[in-house]
Amino acid sequence: MNTTAQPSPEVLRNQLIDTIVRERVAGLYDPQVEEAMRTVPRHEFLPAVSIETAYTNEAVTIKDNPAEDALPFSCASKPDVVFFMLVQLQAREGHRIFEIGAGTGVNAAYLRRLVGPTGHVITGDIDSDVTAYARKTLDATGYGDIEVITRDGALGAEEYGPFDRIIATVGVWDPSPAMRNQLTPGGRLVLPLRWRGLTRSVALVREPNRHRSDSVKVCGFLPMIEETEEHSGYIDDDHLTRLFWDYDQPIDPTALRAAITQPATLAWSETTVGPVESFDGVWLRMSATDPATCRITVKQPAVDAGLRRPANPNLGPALVEGDSMAYLTLARLPSEEGAVPRFRLGAAAYGPAGETLAERLCTQITAWGDDRTAEPVISLYPAGTPDDQLTDGYVIEKPSTRMVISY
């Protein structure tokens, strides 16, 4: 008989938060967020999984999507991502907050702890199953005063506003006028912003003529269901290699099918990374400079069949123009036995213009390598804002916003 005592939920929760605080994956910290996450019983919002699973630093699916290669409909986000997004939000006593994406309800509970007895939290989701779940868990855990509404988050919640803070826990491609305008002057909007296939948690402050970022951090979130401006398609008949791009990019994945049957042409930068060093900033710089930037995902059988391995097969940057493509790759450098390995970053190119695309990609690798901690400023202006009223930077046009990325 196994008589070993299992750690209590409180012990497991504190161990998880200890790890998050120690590692600080985004370099952000707020003692009030730490207190909230140590207090709210996350496992009670995830009754379908074990307590041990509830306190691992992993996302937990609460509603699956049966479609091929599709992401789940709803998840409980990774706790370390939840932590730094709450730090970005800077929620304080008395604030009125709208959360877009109700999930399990646990994030709304954290927010309720942060705003205190004089604050107010509204959480919403387009999926009635999700809001019913959140309503049930919030009631069961003593957070019955949190408003839970079923609607498209892009519409906001004007009847409860204006808001000091708005946070989205689903990926947002084009922040709607309601998201931006229902925020008080000087208020903060934190959302997983999507563009050119990547996602970043961006904290934006409302200014008189724009929303300007003061924090841009790596994250991954499910996209909003109603947004359709992001496209995807396979470049092979076996559905092993897939591109993701925006509606304004003239990308036809079928045009690459001949090119990827040929050996890759390789180009290398002088930039190297260690085995655990992030190089996500390369993609961010590409998106701020090159209109051909998109995302590529590659399944292992495609690599086994001869396709050059992308630097990150599950989530990597590429440049695509017509029948040509280049994507980020890496190669291990020779090293002495026992030494920490280093990897050189470069590009794998296909098609007639592949070498030119590879050179462009390597230029951005080098720019990132020269300043690896640089964080861009992202500004969101209403659609139709004249060019002379925009800050300097690279402009990405979206239906309701003009997004400017400046380094």
DSSP 153: G
Using a 10 angstrom Cβ sphere, with 0-12 exposed, 13-18 middle and 19 or more buried, the burial of residue 3 is exposed
| Residues sharing a CB contact under 8 Å with residue 19, sequence separation 6 or more, in sequence order | 57
Give me the helices (H) in 235-327, please: 280-287, 300-304
How many CA atoms within 13 Å lie on the side-chain side of 87? 22
| Chain center to CA of 211 | 19
The one catalytic residue in 50, 74, 77, 201 is 77
77: annotated active-site residue: yes
In angstroms, the CA 71 to CA 152 distance is: 19
| Residues sharing a CB contact under 8 Å with residue 20, sequence separation 6 or more, in sequence order | 37, 57, 79, 80, 83
Instruction: Find the angle CA(25)-CA(27)-CA(30) to the nearest 5 degrees.
Output: 110
Residues in the chain: 407
Decide the pairing of beta strands 401-406 and 147-150: unpaired
φ, ψ of residue 194 to 5 degrees: the values are -115, 135
In angstroms, the CA 361 to CA 318 distance is: 8
Tokens of 203: 């904290």
Work out whether the CA dihedral 384, 374, 277, 292 comes out positive or negative.
positive
In angstroms, the CA 314 to CA 113 distance is: 36
Tokens of 247: 């509606």
In angstroms, the CA 405 to CA 284 distance is: 10
Burial 141-178 (b: 16+ CB within 10 A, else e): bebeebbbbbebbbbbbeebbebbbbbbbbbbbbbbeb
In angstroms, the CA 94 to CA 130 distance is: 27
Provide the annotated active-site residues: 77
